[in-house]
Amino acid sequence: MPPNGTDRDALVNRQLPEMELSDGTAASLTGPPPPIPHYLNPEGRARYRFGVEGNAIVTGGAGTLALEGARALLEHGVSGLALFDINPAHAEAAIAALQDDFPDANVIAKKVNVTDADNVNAAVRETAEELGSVDVLCCFAGVVGCTHAIDMSPEEWRRVLEINTTGSFLCAQAAARQMIEQKSKGSIVFIASMSGHRVNYPQPQVAYNVSKASLLHLKNCLAAEWARHGIRVNTISPGYMDTILNEGAGLERARNSWASRNPMGRMGLPEELTGPLILLTSHAGSYINGADILVDGGAVVF
């Protein structure tokens, strides 16, 4: 039905909200970074360049890739680390090992459902109180399913999009609000996928692919809106990674197919994601915003 007069007046007279960009001056949160201290030797300059300051949240924190990323963040200097997961007890020993290996850092774990906005907001506030600030967010939380599109239930479609896309947005929104309140710079990294760039083969996984493609554009939108607050938003798009999720005799045909269609002839190792993660969260990434780094051995070149 056409809108009535009142509705039409409201429609044609509405004012659109407008995003605001930074002016890039030294007084802004996007101004040029200070030079590397001149008194440092070459090794010190290298360490400073890839140093990660402040405190970090890693979602999906009980997973293999997230734990590898968390260890790298600690190695490069974060003073506090919060691991969010729907069931952090699954990685209790690995989380304890992080604290043992980095006794000067504060490592905490929280049970968090990334699709529950109230839960996420509360967890971020608690993290800021316990660690002192939130400066880095790395979103690893995600699920995958392999179902033919013709057979996919609405429930499965919604579940994958809700966790992978909406969950990442809710975590980013909560972290950004905290960073803005702190009036400090921040870095947000979504773990997207090469699946957001192309259709995977041989497995059908339409919901997963769409959820990761959504992350790529979510990253673009947030990078534009939040830059003025000193918040950089980027993505990493892994290819097939050699984790427990991709093991087992039932996946042998798929693993052989993935390797044979890759220029490097193999799957990636979890630690091969840590270099890009540190680049994007460290001083070295201070002018990287709205970027996606493919870490797939060259799979998408075909």
Q: Which residues are catalytic?
A: 193, 208, 212
Tokens read off for 83: 């691991």
Report the interhelical angle of 206-226 vs 154-161 (nearest 10°). Answer: 30
- In the chain, which residue ranges form alpha helices assigned H by DSSP? 5-12, 42-49, 64-75, 92-101, 117-131, 154-161, 167-182, 206-226, 252-260, 274-281
The closest of 175, 78, 187 to 128, measured between CA atoms, is 175
Pairing of strands 106-111, 186-191: unpaired
Tokens read off for 39: 């008194």
Tokens read off for 198: 């192309």
Tokens read off for 129: 């109180």
Upper half-sphere CA count for residue 276 (Cβ side, 13 Å): 22
Starting at the edge strand that comes first in sequence, how are the strands of the sheet with 80-85 ordered?
A: 106-111, 80-85, 55-59, 136-139, 186-191, 231-238, 292-295
CB distance 188 to 172 below 8 Å: yes
